[in-house]
Amino acid sequence: MRRLVVFNQVTLDGYFTDPKGDMSWAHKDPGDAEWNAFVSGNASGDGELLFGRVTYDMMAGFWPTPAAMEMMPDVAKGMNRMPKYVCSRTMKQASWKNTTLLKGELAAEVRKLKAEPGPGIAILGSGSIVAQLAQAGLIDEYQVVVNPLVLGDGRTLFEGATRRVPLMLTGSRVFGNGSVLLTYEPAT
């Protein structure tokens, strides 16, 4: 069975977007060699990506552009090359290269994907689907980058969760920019 991994960034006060849905605070200094090497290494793998519609629209509006290729060429190549799935009941079609539209019930669609042969699947952003899939017990690993920033208000990564999801810490990494990567797996 394929692994489903979440990779997200949050602020020290636990928000992954501000009240208006903005995540630009998570962008690091373009000259941060340590962070850029980490991100490039993640994007160069043989995985697949899963998005909710809002995150998909944001990603599809940036990564296929010349600006993305200029700013972060390795990441842009990986993002454009990787197979992608977008969960939406309202979209008619997905325009970003290598994207499949999933229109059915979220947990059922993801169970089918996980049961198919293939590489691991990563969720980037997409807080609403992270909360739903966490509740359904379908996420195998959570990679959360805690940023040294307080927003004061916004949306939490697990907004809408209605039950506890016990996790155990399996790894951590401190970056020179003050961000900390925490890796968790389900405790059950």
Look up the CATH number of the domain holding residue 17: 3.40.430.10
For residue 178, the enclosing domain spans 4-186
Instruction: List C-alpha distances in Å: 28 to 8, 99, 107, 125.
Output: 14, 27, 33, 16
pTM of the predicted model as reported, rounded to 2 decimal places? 0.91
- The CA radius of gyration of the chain, in Å to the nearest whole number, is 16
Cα 66 versus chain centre, distance = 22
Neighbouring C-alpha atoms within 13 Å toward the C-beta of 162:
2
Q: Say what the pLDDT of residue 127 is.
A: 84
Q: Residue 161 and residue 148: Cα distance in Å, rounded?
A: 25
Q: Say what the pLDDT of residue 43 is.
A: 64
Give the torsion through C-alpha atoms of 114, 127, 188, 172, to 10 deg. Answer: 100
Q: Count structural domains, the chain.
A: 1
What does the pLDDT profile of the chain (188 residues) look like in tens digits? 999 999 999 999 999 999 998 888 988 887 889 988 888 777 666 799 999 998 999 899 999 999 999 988 888 898 999 999 999 989 999 999 999 999 999 999 999 999 999 999 999 888 889 999 999 999 999 999 999 999 999 999 998 889 999 999 999 999 999 999 999 999 97
